[in-house]
A and B are shown apart, each in its own frame.
Chain A
Amino acid sequence: NAGVTQTPKFQVLKTGQSMTLQCAQDMNHNSMYWYRQDPGMGLRLIYYSASEGTTDKGEVPNGYNVSRLNKREFSLRLESAAPSQTSVYFCASSVSAYSNQPQHFGDGTRLSIL
């Protein structure tokens, strides 16, 4: 049982390049989330998708776009990467964003922008 799978695991970009981070879950969850994790800042929500066909901004959405491709997949796109977007990105899923159920996380994508 894979749970939440993120690709790629590592990536180095140059400033101004674009990139899409992929996430897929096999738990039949309705809701999916993208976070970034920075030292001393904890996990911060970038975007989430409460259900297939919907997306909403989180705490730090600037510079990012998302697509909920289907129930299983939720991608995060950096259109013009900036050094401030160097971070570890985590995808998570839950049964429903409208319930109080916990979220389950993938192992992250480590992104460096030079």
Chain B
Amino acid sequence: QKEVEQDPGPLSVPEGAIVSLNCTYSNSAFQYFMWYRQYSRKGPELLMYTYSSGNKEDGRFTAQVDKSSKYISLFIRDSQPSDSATYLCAMIPVNTGTASKLTFGTGTRLQVTL
């Protein structure tokens, strides 16, 4: 079983819809959570970075963390065709004094249609 599970999609939604992207994880040591957006033939671009349970909002994007359920979500409001990309979740464990390494989900491909 992978440490981080993410549905690969593809997820197709009409323009203007609310999108929910999710990851589950098994390692309770994960404390820092990120969402990256990756356009085709480009590198991952950091969208959101959160620590601890709760919500963080940035424009049309909201990141939600539920540590008790080991579940994180990214919500996109008023989705646009320009949001069409692959979304990767990533996590870092609590700092133990050794080098922290990101653990990635495999990504969910999102297509926003006109």
A binds B: yes
A residues at B contact (CB < 8 Å): 4, 31, 40-43, 45, 48, 50, 56, 58, 90, 97-100, 102-108, 110
Contacts of A41 in B (CB 8 A): 106
Main secondary structure of the interface of B (DSSP, over half): loop
- Measured in the bound complex, the distance between the Cα atoms of B90 and A40 in whole Å is 15
Chain A residues within 8 Å of B8, by CB: 40
Contact at B106–A98, with CB atoms within 8 Å? no
B91-109 CB contacts (< 8 Å) to partner A: 92, 95, 97-102, 104-107
Query: Which of B99, B102, B104 is the one whose CB lies under 8 Å from A98?
Result: B99
Q: A97 to B97, alpha carbons, bound, how many Å?
A: 10
Contact B106 A108 (CB under 8 A): no
Output the least CB separation between B89 and chain A (Å). 10
Q: Interface residues, chain B, CB within 8 Å of chain A?
A: 8, 31-32, 34, 36, 41-46, 49, 51, 88, 90, 92, 95, 97-102, 104-107
Chain B residues whose CB sits within 8 angstroms of the CB of A40 once the complex forms: 8, 106
B88 touches A104 (CB 8 A): no
Q: How far is the CB of B50 from chain A (nearest CB, A)?
A: 10
A sample of 10 cross-chain residue pairs with beta-carbon separation below 8 angstroms, ordered by A number, consists of: A31-B99, A42-B107, A48-B101, A97-B101, A98-B95, A98-B97, A100-B32, A102-B46, A105-B36, A108-B41
